[in-house]
Amino acid sequence: MSVALRERREELELVAAEAERARAGAGRLVLLRGATGTGRTALLEAVAEQAEAAGMRVLRARCSPDHTSVPFGAVFQLLAHGPGFDSAAGEEPDPPGTPSHRGRPARLWRLLRSYADDVPLLVAVDDVHLADESSRRWLVEAVRRIDRLPVLMVVTERSQYDIDPPADGLVHALSPALVRTRTLAPLSAGSAEELVRSALGRPVPAELVDDCVRAGAGSPLLLRALLDDLGGTAAEDAPAALPDNCAALYPGSYAAAVSWWLDSAGPTTTEVARALAALDDDEKADEKADEKAGEKDGDSASGGGGHGDADAELLARTAGADPARVPGWLTAMTGLGLLRPGPGGRPRYAHPLLRDAVLSSWSGALRQAAHHRAAEAMLRRGDRAEAVAGQLLRSAPVGEAWATGVLLDAADLAVRDDRSDDALAFLRRALDEPMPDARRSVVLTELGSLEYATVRSTAGIPRLAEAMRLPGLPRDRVRAAVALGTALARQGEARVAIDVLRGLENEHLTGHPDLVRTVQTASALLSDHDPGTRREVYRWLRETAERSPQLVGTAGQALLVRYESTAGLTSAASAMRRIRALLAQPADPLAEGFLLGTAAAVAQWADQLDEAERLVRRGLAGQRTSLLHPMHLALLNVRVDIAAARGAYAELLDDPVVLSPVVGRLDPANAQAHALIALVETGRTEEATALADGFDLQNPYDSWELNRFLYARGVLRAATGDPAGALGDFLECGRHQSARDVVSPVVTPWRTASAECHLALGRPRQALALAEEELRLATVWNTPRVLGRALRVLGTATGGRRGLDLTDRAVRVLREGAGGVSAGTPDVTPEAAPEATADGDGSAAPGGEPVETELIPALIAQGRGLTAVGDRARAREALREAAERAERLGAVRMRASAEAALREGGARRAATARTGSGSLTASERRIAELAAQSRTNMEIAELLHLARRTVETHLTSAYRKLGIRRRAELGAALTDAGSRSGPTGPGPGPDRDRDRHRRGTQA
């Protein structure tokens, strides 16, 4: 059975029964109704063949819209081939006085009766809804008379819900007793699947079969056309699934069939069908909107429902159709299979290919106009800005202020949701609408910033330069200049960036001292990318601050504190007192980001890691991520610095920002330097080598980040047995840092690292000189981290009892944690005051000991020194503690170093507990206990002043060590672990450390 006649057995049997009745002299009308494409014509042909086989004479007529103006045109087709037709058709005029509407029909009826006298007749009329009015009246009258004749009349009629109400059907005025009506249903999915498999004649993927069934939409017309297009494809070239657009199909039968379906439905229905396809053009955006609407409304109706009258009204307004008819059309098309309910119940085309076919014959201009109308309708009904803007993206420029406002509002929402691609699209489209130059400058600044950060720098810089050329408010011009300067500095054009800022200051900021200070602060920060420029800028900044501090503002003074911290001119305690005093002063919104970022960097160097973290959070919260700003990346860098200082290697490497290259730059960034060290410390040296080799440092930008990376690469080379190569990197780092007036070890402790390389190369004198200089500078800054590190390396370089005394002192200093910086509660701004704490007893703040990464190598150095003087018991104690701390930190390299030192001292290291309660660190235990109390990760993070990611990392580690998989198992696991805790007990803390030193016994 052909495509068109699948599932038509009942109709054929009905006609056969009526034909038998007609041959007995009792004729009747059989009306076969159906939507366009349901196979009415094919069924009528089968009926005619069946009748001829039964001995009936078949009279055929096929109606067409081209012949509606010819009176009796359909009847003439029926009777044209019989004897007596010419006279009956009325080629001779009727006698005078005879009404033509009575004379000609009567003659035609007599002719039909004469045909029936010879043999039973089947009168087959296809598409009777297209017949001329005279023929329709004649056929209706004939039906009233054939009940006593051997005549069976079978006609097909289009029956489909259209937007324009159709005319009355053929049988509207007939008695039901004279008519048998059958409505053709769409093909079932099962029959359609069988047809696809048999028609293609080869094994067909299930996905392709499903696609064909959906694109065919239960219509034999569409399915046959689609299979014709696919039938010419060779088996080896056959697609696994249908394409989403008709351009990929050849010869195009499917698109032509859809066009026929649209033409049959009438112009208004066609407009509605196309409008629906256009509104459904962005499926992903619609799905998101549907999900949100579904969550809000909670309805899941099908057909035209789901979004109900609101969607129908929008569709009607877009197409210029009657809103009262559209809901019914949606329901009818869903019943036919052409539409399906999408997420949230919104009607959608059954397959993207069908939607594309509906749109394919629509001109671009008409489509754009439809999107324009849709946007206006959605705006009037109060839709989300992003939904309205989505329509404007597909329309031509509107030329009205409302369109500009909607696009910018949508861009703002996209930025807030971190959807850069959407924000870019909305901002680019907004530039097509009229707006004042001042506003256009603001839009260009944001667009250029986004393009630089997410696409490529070459796209962003011209936009920012154009923004600078347009007039605007002074504050907006500063934002544009800062963004352009940031982009240029990252490209290695620091001097050009500062010239841009100075030009703005000199020409446009007269009478705006606060903005002048902001520009000067930005210039100072951007000068970090060029050593020569940096010296000039900071020389001016220092001289100005000495004469008139108010001219540099709080942010500028904070930068001076930062400069003095790295230049070895101030202590950590003094730097933090000054920073906190500056934070307590009112700050201009444009300058506050500079102040917070600078303060966070100084706090991190001073080992005030919790305070630094809070400042980073505040700074990032105040940054608009869509605007290029030098402090945004600086704040992200401080956040990475904090994780590195804590030794949170796993957390650091899990951060996607850390291993990702910075857009617009080919040289390494600060985050990648930290990633390199983290990979080394966690024993992943092959990955570290691959990362280091990925950068060509032959002609890099001379930036501070390059110095960080040189130091990190030196760490890698030292760890992989290349002390000479490492020394070269460390000394090169030192030369660059010194040229920038960065001599303090708070940033890159290149002297101690170089000293260790000299020792490895057998050059103790050079090592000693570097270590002594490092200790001098560390004493100025005076934090446990830098002081302990300098003492450790100097002790190793000195050797003997004197060297052991220095390493003992290093261990004591590092055990004291951050206590040497400040005591009491920091004097910070009111927003931060409730959270700011610094323990006066010197213990580490919540979140782990900030100097753990330096205490472990100090313990190793102490253990080696004790071994050298023969105190093996204390040496094993120190080395075992170092190994335990390294294991808890995940520092594979340091743990291996401690274990090697143990073996060299003749001891076997007792196995450190790797599972069970004894393996939990203090932080893991504290977080696990809170989680066992049913606290959420966010609640734990807020309670302990930690990042949520840190909480998740510790919980994951605790689950693994306790051998559990669910949060609900924590309580029992911790209770059982507590009852079985033995010699391992909790991790080493200050009290346990002091007990060990008092006992002086072998662990």
Q: What is the pLDDT of residues 282-296, one digit of tens each?
A: 444 545 544 443 443
What secondary structure letter does DSSP report for 966? S
Query: Is residue 848 predicted with pLDDT exceeding 50?
Result: no
Residue 831 has pLDDT above 70, yes or no: no
Measured CA to CA, the distance from residue 911 to residue 891 in angstroms comes to 16
pLDDT at 395 over 90: yes
pLDDT at 82: 66
What is the tens place of the pLDDT at every residue in 456-489?
Answer: 777 899 999 999 999 999 999 999 999 999 888 8
With H, G, I as helix, E, B as strand and everything else as coil, classify residue 154: strand
Alpha-carbon span 946 to 942, nearest angstrom: 6
Least confident range of 180-184, 338-342, 537-541: 537-541
Task: Name, in order, each residue with C-beta under 8 angstroms of 721's C-beta and a sequence gap of 6 or more.
Answer: none
In angstroms, the CA 464 to CA 454 distance is 15
| Residue position matching structure tokens 């002081």 | 787
Query: CA 93, CA 96: separation in Å to the nearest integer?
Result: 8
Strands 347-349 and 339-341: antiparallel
Residue 710 corresponds to which tokens in the numbers above? 């040189």
pLDDT at 177 over 60: yes
Between CA 767 and CA 774, with CA 773 as vertex, the angle to 5 degrees is: 85
Would residue 66 be called left, alpha or beta, if left means φ above 0 and alpha means ψ between -120 and 50 degrees? alpha
Give me the pLDDT at residue 828, please. Answer: 31
**Mean pLDDT calculated for residue range 379-397:** 94
355, 367, 432 from 392: Cα distances, Å: 20, 12, 11
Band of pLDDT at residue 110, cut at 50, 70 and 90? very high
Average of pLDDT values for 244-251? 90
What's the rounded mean pLDDT across residues 800-805?
94
Q: How far is Cα 581 from Cα 542, in angstroms, rounded to an integer?
A: 18
> For the sheet containing 57-62, what is the strand order?
57-62, 121-126, 151-158, 28-34, 179-183
Answer yes or no: is pLDDT of 256 > 50: yes
Residue spans of alpha helices (H) in 232-307: 253-265, 267-279, 283-297
Tens-digit pLDDT profile for residues 351-369: 999 999 999 889 999 999 9
DSSP H or E stretch at residue 61 = strand 57-62
Burial 451-488 (b: 16+ CB within 10 A, else e): bbbeeebebbbebbbbbbebebebebbbbbbbbbbbbb
Task: Choose among 143, 78, 136: nearest CA to 111.
Answer: 78
**In this model, does residue 495 exceed pLDDT 80?**
yes
Whether the pLDDT of residue 573 is over 90: the answer is yes
DSSP, res 100: H
Which tens digits make up the pLDDT trace of 869-925? 999 999 999 999 999 889 888 899 999 999 999 998 887 644 445 556 667 777 788
Amino acid 499 reads D
Alpha carbon distance 108, 92 (integer Å): 13
Q: What integer is the mean pLDDT of 359-382?
A: 92
Residue 80, pLDDT score: 86
Residue appearing with tokens 């206590």: 819
Is the confidence at residue 498, as pLDDT, over 80? yes
* Residues in contact with 609: Cβ distance below 8 Å, sequence separation at least 6, in sequence order: 603, 642, 645, 646, 818, 845, 847, 850
Higher pLDDT pick, 768 / 69: 768
- Tell me if residue 157 falls in helix, strand or coil: strand
Residues 717-726: tens digit of each pLDDT: 999 999 999 9
In this structure, are strands 28-34 and 151-158 parallel, antiparallel, or unpaired?
A: parallel
3-state secondary structure 16-58: HHHHHHHHCCCCEEEEEEECCCCCHHHHHHHHHHHHHHCCCEE
- Given a contact cutoff of 8 angstroms between Cβ atoms, the answer to whether 746 and 757 are in contact is no
Whether pTM exceeds 0.95: no
33: pLDDT strictly greater than 80:
yes
What would the pLDDT profile of 933-972 be if each residue is shown by its tens digit? 888 988 888 888 777 777 887 887 788 778 777 788 888 8
Is 36 in contact with 266 (CB distance < 8 Å)? no
First to last CA, the chain: 90
- 374-401 burial, b for 16+ CB within 10 Å, e for fewer? bbbbbbeeebbbbbbbbbbbbbeebeee
Residue 991 pLDDT > 60, yes or no? Answer: no
Q: How many CA atoms lie within 13 A of 366 on its CB side?
A: 13
3-state secondary structure 334-401: HHHCCEEECHHHCEEECCHHHHHHHHHCCCHHHHHHHHHHHHHHHHHCCCCHHHHHHHHCCCCCCCCH
Confidence at residue 291, expressed as pLDDT on a 0 to 100 scale: 47
Angstrom distance (rounded) from CA 660 to CA 652: 12
Q: How far apart are CA 868 and CA 878, in angstroms?
A: 13
- Judged against a pLDDT cut of 80, whether residue 92 lies above it is answered with no
Nearest to 410 by CA among 436, 392, 433: 392
Task: Find, among 816, 414, 818, 936, the residue nearest to 625 by Cα.
Answer: 414
CB 171, CB 181: distance < 8 Å: yes
- Tell me the pLDDT band of 582, cut-offs 50, 70 and 90: very high
- Beta strand 28-34 with 57-62 is unpaired
d(CA 751, CA 298): 66
Would you say residue 983 has pLDDT above 80?
no
Judged against a pLDDT cut of 60, whether residue 833 lies above it is answered with no
* pLDDT confidence of residue 661: 58
Displacement of CA 264 from its chain's centroid (Å):
42
Q: What is the mean pLDDT of the chain?
A: 84
Handedness of CA 37, 40, 45, 49 (dihedral sign): positive
Lowest pLDDT segment from 706-710, 753-757, 912-916: 912-916
CA pair distance 41, 524, nearest whole angstrom:
82
